[in-house]
Protein backbone atom coordinates (compact mmCIF):
# COMPACT_ATOMS: atom_id res chain seq x y z
CA UNK A 1 0.00 0.00 0.00
CA UNK A 2 1.12 3.53 -0.68
CA UNK A 3 2.86 4.80 2.42
CA UNK A 4 2.58 8.24 3.92
CA UNK A 5 6.17 9.06 2.90
CA UNK A 6 5.45 8.13 -0.72
CA UNK A 7 2.24 10.19 -0.71
CA UNK A 8 4.12 13.24 0.58
CA UNK A 9 6.91 12.72 -1.95
CA UNK A 10 4.45 12.50 -4.84
CA UNK A 11 2.58 15.59 -3.62
CA UNK A 12 5.88 17.50 -3.55
CA UNK A 13 6.73 16.21 -7.04
CA UNK A 14 3.34 17.32 -8.40
CA UNK A 15 3.84 20.74 -6.88
CA UNK A 16 7.37 21.12 -8.27
CA UNK A 17 6.13 20.15 -11.75
CA UNK A 18 3.07 22.45 -11.47
CA UNK A 19 0.72 19.51 -11.98
CA UNK A 20 -2.89 19.82 -10.87
CA UNK A 21 -4.21 16.61 -9.35
CA UNK A 22 -7.30 15.36 -11.17
CA UNK A 23 -7.63 12.04 -9.29
CA UNK A 24 -5.52 9.87 -7.03
CA UNK A 25 -5.42 6.14 -7.71
CA UNK A 26 -3.59 3.77 -5.40
CA UNK A 27 -2.63 0.84 -7.60
CA UNK A 28 -2.06 -1.99 -5.16
CA UNK A 29 -3.63 -4.58 -7.41
CA UNK A 30 -1.89 -7.78 -8.43
CA UNK A 31 -1.45 -8.74 -12.06
CA UNK A 32 -2.23 -12.35 -11.22
CA UNK A 33 -5.44 -11.78 -9.26
CA UNK A 34 -8.49 -10.06 -10.67
CA UNK A 35 -9.00 -7.49 -13.37
CA UNK A 36 -7.15 -4.49 -11.86
CA UNK A 37 -10.26 -2.33 -11.70
CA UNK A 38 -8.46 0.76 -10.36
CA UNK A 39 -5.90 0.60 -13.21
CA UNK A 40 -8.64 0.41 -15.85
CA UNK A 41 -10.62 3.17 -14.14
CA UNK A 42 -7.48 5.35 -14.20
CA UNK A 43 -7.06 4.70 -17.94
CA UNK A 44 -10.71 5.58 -18.66
CA UNK A 45 -10.40 8.86 -16.72
CA UNK A 46 -7.29 9.75 -18.74
CA UNK A 47 -8.93 8.88 -22.06
CA UNK A 48 -11.92 11.11 -21.25
CA UNK A 49 -9.76 14.24 -20.83
CA UNK A 50 -9.22 16.76 -23.62
CA UNK A 51 -5.66 17.51 -22.52
CA UNK A 52 -2.70 15.22 -21.99
CA UNK A 53 -2.90 13.61 -18.56
CA UNK A 54 0.26 13.23 -16.49
CA UNK A 55 0.20 9.91 -14.64
CA UNK A 56 2.58 10.26 -11.72
CA UNK A 57 4.09 7.26 -9.94
CA UNK A 58 6.83 6.84 -7.40
CA UNK A 59 8.79 4.51 -9.69
CA UNK A 60 8.68 2.99 -13.16
CA UNK A 61 7.39 -0.36 -12.00
CA UNK A 62 4.42 1.01 -10.03
CA UNK A 63 1.86 1.62 -12.77
CA UNK A 64 1.78 -1.38 -15.07
CA UNK A 65 1.97 -5.01 -14.03
CA UNK A 66 1.96 -6.80 -17.36
CA UNK A 67 3.25 -6.51 -20.90
CA UNK A 68 -0.32 -5.97 -22.11
CA UNK A 69 -0.64 -2.93 -19.86
CA UNK A 70 2.70 -1.57 -21.07
CA UNK A 71 1.50 -1.78 -24.66
CA UNK A 72 -1.73 0.01 -23.70
CA UNK A 73 0.19 2.78 -21.94
CA UNK A 74 2.61 3.12 -24.86
CA UNK A 75 -0.30 3.52 -27.29
CA UNK A 76 -1.82 6.24 -25.10
CA UNK A 77 1.55 8.02 -24.91
CA UNK A 78 1.93 7.92 -28.69
CA UNK A 79 -1.66 9.17 -29.12
CA UNK A 80 -0.76 12.10 -26.83
CA UNK A 81 -3.41 11.15 -24.25
CA UNK A 82 -1.01 10.54 -21.36
CA UNK A 83 2.54 11.02 -20.20
CA UNK A 84 4.17 9.03 -17.43
CA UNK A 85 6.12 10.77 -14.66
CA UNK A 86 8.35 8.66 -12.42
CA UNK A 87 9.46 10.44 -9.27
CA UNK A 88 12.40 8.26 -8.17
CA UNK A 89 13.91 8.04 -11.64
CA UNK A 90 13.24 11.70 -12.44
CA UNK A 91 11.90 10.51 -15.78
CA UNK A 92 9.02 11.69 -17.95
CA UNK A 93 7.79 9.57 -20.83
CA UNK A 94 5.75 11.40 -23.42
CA UNK A 95 5.39 11.30 -27.20
CA UNK A 96 8.84 12.95 -27.51
CA UNK A 97 10.62 10.58 -25.10
CA UNK A 98 14.14 9.57 -26.03
CA UNK A 99 14.90 5.90 -26.61
CA UNK A 100 17.09 5.53 -23.52
CA UNK A 101 14.22 6.60 -21.24
CA UNK A 102 11.85 4.19 -22.99
CA UNK A 103 14.43 1.44 -22.50
CA UNK A 104 14.76 2.32 -18.78
CA UNK A 105 10.97 2.03 -18.44
CA UNK A 106 11.03 -1.32 -20.26
CA UNK A 107 13.74 -2.59 -17.90
CA UNK A 108 11.79 -1.53 -14.80
CA UNK A 109 8.77 -3.38 -16.16
CA UNK A 110 10.82 -6.47 -17.05
CA UNK A 111 12.08 -6.68 -13.46
CA UNK A 112 8.49 -6.53 -12.23
CA UNK A 113 7.41 -9.37 -14.56
CA UNK A 114 10.35 -11.46 -13.42
CA UNK A 115 9.43 -10.82 -9.77
CA UNK A 116 5.82 -11.92 -10.42
CA UNK A 117 6.93 -14.98 -12.37
CA UNK A 118 9.23 -16.11 -9.57
CA UNK A 119 6.77 -15.55 -6.73
DSSP one-letter string for 34-78: S--HHHHHHHHHHHH-SSPEEEEESSTTSS--SHHHHHHHHHHHH
Distance between CA atoms of residues 12 and 116, nearest Å: 30
Q: Which residue has the higher pLDDT, 114 or 81?
A: 81
- Look up the pTM and report it: 0.75
Nearest Cα to Cα of residue 27 among 118, 117, 114, 112: 112
Q: Which residue has the higher pLDDT, 111 or 9?
A: 9
Identify the band that residue 113 occupies on the pLDDT scale cut at 50, 70 and 90.
very low
Query: Do the Cβ atoms of 13 and 56 come closer than 8 Å?
Result: yes
Mean pLDDT of the residues in the chain:
79
Question: Which domains occur in the chain, in start order?
Answer: 4-118 (3.40.50.1390)
Q: Could you report the per-residue pLDDT of 34-55, keeping only the tens digit for each?
A: 677 888 898 999 999 999 999 8
Amino acid sequence: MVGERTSRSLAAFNSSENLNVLNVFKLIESSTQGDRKAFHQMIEVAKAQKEIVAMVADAGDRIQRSFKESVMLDQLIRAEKIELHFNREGMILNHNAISTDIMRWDFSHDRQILRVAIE
